[in-house]
Structure 1
Amino acid sequence: MATKRHQLLEFAVLGLLHETPMHGYELRRRLNLALGPFRALSFGTLYPCLRSLVERGDITESASPATTSRRPRIVYELTDPGRQHFAELAARSDDGAYEDDGFELRLAFFGRTETSVRLRILEGRRARLEERLAQLREQARLGTRDTWASALHRHTEESLERDLRWLGELIAAERGAPAVRPGSLTDPNHPAFTPPPTHPTTR
């Protein structure tokens, strides 16, 4: 059975090839630069994935014309079954789509995802981060920390609050609704709401 990381890699490869045919070097470069889960991707991981997709018929491979300065490269292209497979994967909104690596990857291909699926993923991600924020604040209430642990706690809390506001804006844009969900931890009327810190201005 394919591992979760391998499944994410297959989805990423199919999504990138949906744009245009690419050779392995270009695929690796795009995966390293643009997609968080694969910023340290090696050819030893990429090429077995490509072979698996070729064997399944999701992509085809062909040699590009050779030049005097280099050997011909193998170019990979998406097939019609590959497009269908990608569409099926993009239509899923299970728990894996809300986790850190899965969410970032799904977001990268939201342009090829239906609105209803985008909303389910965004709302699922928001609920997951709200859980983390509530747990973090509970830990702060119960425990004591030294200066460095407190600084890390504040940074994590501020990052979660910032991400929740961003998700609220994305969801609002999809639904034409207010950016802050009433009753959530980022709602100023919530009893546990913590306003963002203010920083003194410098003159």
Structure 2
Amino acid sequence: MYELFVLGELMTGDKHGYRLQESLKHAVGPIRQISSGTLYPLISRLVKRGWIRPRPEGPQQGGRLRKMYEVTEAGRERFQELMREPLEYNMETELIFLFKMAYFQHVTKDVRIACLEQYREYLRYNLEYVKSESEVISQKEIPENKRIQLLRMFDYRKHVGLTAVQWVTEEIERIRAAEE
């Protein structure tokens, strides 16, 4: 997941590791953060695989050389591969979708539409779960106050899901209608 982010960020231009970390903080929001202990080993792996390369810059305070990272041709190919990969249904699906969407400008119209369609199917899958779970809960012998609150929670999830499906559907239509 973070591999996609780093390659996507470097597709938009060369960056220092610190700038990558700052961009990622903004992308994932205030709750979920990535540590230097996660990011820099990832950067090292991407360099070893030949997907990015460091370019030394002038020294920063303390005399250490700063490294600017750039994506290689192999890294561009890997990025395209990651963007074409189908979305898996797990705890990271929404974040991966958001990362992909942030880099839509670097892929074809067909890849953008495929990603949006996959995400819409994921949203519909979740809506089916919410619907079936609501039916089960409404028939279970659960204390009334707890059952009511669970049903309210599922009602909220249903409304959020329906709104998301509508937005994604409109986005697919907008992209289809747009000229490349």
Please state which band the TM-score falls in when normalised by the shorter chain. Answer: 0.7 to 0.9
Distance 1:88 1:137, change over 3 A: closer
Corresponding residue to 1:116 among 110, 113, 125 = 110
- How far 1:60 sits from its partner (Å)? 1.3
State the superposition RMSD in angstroms.
2.3
TM-score, length-normalised on structure 2? 0.81
Partner in structure 1 of residue 88 of structure 2: 96
Query: Does residue 79 of structure 1 match 2:80?
Result: no
Partner in structure 2 of residue 188 of structure 1: none
Which is helix-richer, 1 or 2? 2
**Which blocks of at least 5 consecutive residues in structure 2 are unaligned?**
139-145
Distance 1:163 1:18, change over 3 A: same
Looking at both structures, which has the greater relative contact order when contacts are Cα pairs under 8 Å and sequence separation is at least 6? 2
CA contact (8 A) 2:15 2:70 kept: yes
Partner in structure 2 of residue 162 of structure 1: 163
What percentage of residue pairs aligned between the two structures are identical?
29
Partner in structure 1 of residue 141 of structure 2: none
CA contact (8 A) 2:137 2:151 kept: no
- How far 1:152 sits from its partner (Å)? 1.4
CA distance in 2, matches of 1:88, 1:68: 38
CA distance in 2, matches of 1:172, 1:30: 30
Between the two proteins, the alignment pairs up a number of residues equal to 167
CA distance in 2, matches of 1:93, 1:86: 10
Specify the SS of the correspondent of 1:146: helix
Query: Does residue 25 of structure 1 match 2:12?
Result: no
Cα deviation per residue 1:107-146 (whole Å; 9 max; x = unaligned)? 1111112111211221121122112212211222232353
Corresponding residue to 2:127 among 120, 133, 154 = 133
Corresponding residue to 2:42 among 22, 25, 49 = 49
CA distance in 1, matches of 2:72, 2:11: 9
**Which blocks of at least 5 consecutive residues in structure 1 are unaligned?**
1-7, 177-203
CA contact (8 A) 2:11 2:71 kept: yes
TM-score, length-normalised on structure 1? 0.73
CA contact (8 A) 1:54 1:60 kept: yes
Partner in structure 1 of residue 143 of structure 2: none
Specify the SS of the correspondent of 2:70: strand
- How far 1:32 sits from its partner (Å)? 1.2
What amino acid is aligned across from residue 171 of structure 1 in structure 2? I
